[in-house]
Structure 1
């Protein structure tokens, strides 16, 4: 079972991300194709959950690859210390989601009507591609810079880059847990409380 503890440093976040990308890919790749694309009315299928995670990574990757001065100009100065992963998770669950927050706009999943094993493999490969891109982008950030630049989150407002990475780590687990509930599997926990 994957256990990521409470990553905080750039090195710990990068290691947790790499482990998580593999765990998420394995989870969705091992699923039967029919189950991967199936969902009750009004609930995202496993495929839609994974496509949502792919779409959610894109702006993080983009932000980590543009010049830092552009982030400063666009989003301003940091006025707080970075919260821990547990604190970001708590805020997401108890403030954003508890008050009706949900994905919208560019983060809504669209899965074409191709319910084949080949399409499943393609979606998982796209996840792994985004995982590698985020890993490469994160490697260019120093420990200090993770706390010195802000990025916007559609539900949580401006967050430090470190906090956005914590959110991204937790968000993946959150959607794996959604799929586990859908498939009536036991939920996993990857992080220390």
Structure 2
């Protein structure tokens, strides 16, 4: 009788605990309103899957769904890398056409960096305009007139140059001219910018 009585008491306690849990769940569901952050409790059969129901007896496990949530994050926007534009690397003067070619190559590289990062760099158009204006009016010397009596001896561009230096110089001057034409249509017209446009365009044409 003792063993049978204990089993009966244990079953009674288990049924009482089950009723209390059911009442608690029903009260929680009744008190839940729109301001609650707790999701509704899922049935054990929904979340169990291949697992047994006993694994869900721990607190909080009944709210987990066996669903892959990785696709919910969407596409990742990678951080944009900003490449610095070292305009201070521009030389203060050029001594021969070879250095002039290197200077034009560096200027074209800096202009490309400024143009490609225009949405991240403030005043990118003004920086490109100023860089080209300084290159053509202060760094590269202007050629002497064709009929100048001392053109062969004093003209900077009459020095001996290899064909590769000439081709490299012409190519980068052409690209610089394209950068200048693009940036001229970006800036607002004023007396200063109009004057710089005329002078720089004439300087590019004279050197080329």
Q: Which structure has greater strand proportion? A: 1
Same structural fold, with TM-score higher than 0.5 when normalized by the shorter chain: no
Normalised by the length of structure 2, the TM-score is: 0.24
Normalised by the length of structure 1, the TM-score is: 0.26
